[in-house]
Structure 1
Amino acid sequence: MSRVDTSRLIGHIVSGHGVASGRSDGSPYPAGTIAMQTPVFRQAGLDLSDCWPGTINLSFAPLELRLKDPDHCFPHLRWTDLHPPETFSFWRVDLISENGQQACGWVYRPHPETKQRHWQSSSTLELLAPRLNGVKPNSRMEIVDHRSRIALVDGVRLRSRLLECLKFRVLAAQQSFFVSTEGEQRRVWLRQAWPEALDLDDGDLEAVWSQARMLYADD
């Protein structure tokens, strides 16, 4: 299986950059980014006043996360003068800590295409929630999304299998294959040839296509 799609997922907590909470000595945001962003989110329509002003970082490594249909998406919000506006999405979830505490929280996702620094791994969720006691690195936490919008995929396996799938197409068609699968046509082709690979993002697909060109296409 290359995809796990369920309403309940269990990960383990990892240490973050310390920027969201303002704990990092090297952060340009000593108040913490969450405290700075909260009034902006409230103005946009999302009240996070019940959440602790920092993130819980939940890892599902080596699997990678895929999210869809957020409860809120705020495009191009300006919350600081230190870099351009960012886009943020939020998913409402229930959290259950290793010691049994339960709380309603949010998956908090600054979109990587608008984020200039402090990127998160594709295996890690950032969560906002009320303060929970006993939550520490290496402890487990369960998230419950009753709408099953969060999936885990084996990205390494998908990329490897896709490269193998492309091998015979490229050897047979050479450069004409790449011409016929440029831009939006790439996903159109995948829907017909191997829909499982649609779980990969555009950056992953471009990397696999480039590798296939290098390995299998004539100069």
Structure 2
Amino acid sequence: MMNGWFEGVVRQGHGVASGVNSESPYTKGTIAIQSPLFKRLGLDLSAYWHGTINLCFKPLEIVLQNPDYKFENMFWTELHPPETFSFWNIKIRMSDGGQTNGLIYYPHPETKIRHWQSASILEILAPRLEKLGSGTPLQIQTADGCMQLIDGCRLRAKLLEFLKFRVLASPDYFFSDSSQQGKREWLSSTNPEFLILPDADLNYVWEQAKNLYTENK
């Protein structure tokens, strides 16, 4: 089953994936370098342009789950440690109604050392699409349960407020189990609304709560 269509706006990227950035150490482009490695692991990218489309959904943030492909700790350059990559099969619909297949290309941020990417931007692999410039609207469709758009700023602020009185009531007890599993089990029983937040966001809010509401900073 497929999700509905998500509409974003194309934004200019860093030019690292395609190799057009003259200051990038990857002169061939990262996609061209990585493609043979992905092919050996079972994912053929030969149908796609060796660059990415940056699709922006600001002010909303993207949450991805259940990838079609995941390659952990792939070594592809001497310049930094191995990275983990996930991919999702998608359909792409242009403003003129034309459609094509593509992939969400997701270098996991916890292993992506050199280039920070906004949580509101997706990198898309697709055949070369004509007349696709910055500001162009573009729609994508994923399988059901793979992608959601959330108001991350609102949820993080709401979670911090939700934690406030629970921390103040018993700070030692509250932080006695700050493991990822412990956080999620506690939220599951108290307020499942926040379970959509990624692990990194939960860790950030927990640390904020500890700094703001306890003396053990």
Q: Residues 99-153 of structure 1: CA distance to partner in whole angstroms, max 9, x if unpaired?
A: 3331100000011111111121111100000011111101100001133411011
Report how far residue 8 of structure 1 moved: 1.5
Q: Which residue does the alignment assign to 2:5? A: 8
Report how far residue 182 of structure 1 moved: 4.3
SS at match of 2:119: coil
2:67 pairs with 67, 70, 75, which one? Answer: 70
The 8 Å contact of residues 57 and 125 in structure 1, kept in 2 or not, is answered as yes
Deviates more, 1:117-126 or 1:75-84: 75-84
The 5 A counterparts of 1:152-163 are 152-163=149-160
Look up the equivalent residue of 2:108 and give its one-letter code: H
Identity among equivalent positions (%) equals 50
Q: CA–CA distance in 2 between the matches of 1:195 and 1:207?
A: 18
2:182 pairs with 160, 182, 185, which one? Answer: 185
Q: Residues 141-182 of structure 1: CA distance to partner in whole angstroms, max 9, x if unpaired?
A: 000113341101111111111111111111211322111444
1:213 pairs with 187, 193, 210, which one? Answer: 210
Q: Which residue does the alignment assign to 1:116? A: 113
Unaligned 5+ residue runs, structure 2? none
Q: CA–CA distance in 1 between the matches of 2:148 and 2:94?
A: 20
RMSD of equivalent CA atoms: 1.6
SS at match of 1:82: coil
Report how far residue 6 of structure 1 moved: 4.3
Q: CA–CA distance in 2 between the matches of 1:161 and 1:111?
A: 26
Report how far residue 210 of structure 1 moved: 2.0
Deviates more, 1:197-206 or 1:46-55: 197-206
Q: Residues 14-69 of structure 1: CA distance to partner in whole angstroms, max 9, x if unpaired?
A: 11100000000100011111111111111110111110000000011111111111
The 8 Å contact of residues 65 and 145 in structure 2, kept in 1 or not, is answered as no
SS at match of 2:206: helix
Look up the equivalent residue of 1:145 and give its one-letter code: T
Q: Residues 160-214 of structure 1: CA distance to partner in whole angstroms, max 9, x if unpaired?
A: 1111111111121132211144442111111101111111222221221222223
TM-score between the two structures when normalised by the length of structure 1: 0.93
1:136 pairs with 133, 138, 141, which one? Answer: 133
Look up the equivalent residue of 1:134 and give its one-letter code: K
Q: CA–CA distance in 1 between the matches of 2:178 and 2:110?
A: 23
Unaligned 5+ residue runs, structure 1? none
The 5 A counterparts of 1:71-86 are 71-86=68-83
- Alignment coverage as a number of residue pairs: 215
Shift in CA distance, 98/190, structure 1 to aligned 2, threshold 3 Å: same
The 8 Å contact of residues 21 and 54 in structure 1, kept in 2 or not, is answered as yes
Q: Which residue does the alignment assign to 1:199? A: 196
Look up the equivalent residue of 1:155 and give its one-letter code: G
Shift in CA distance, 148/181, structure 1 to aligned 2, threshold 3 Å: closer
Look up the equivalent residue of 2:62 and give its one-letter code: L
Report how far residue 218 of structure 1 moved: 4.4
SS at match of 1:112: coil
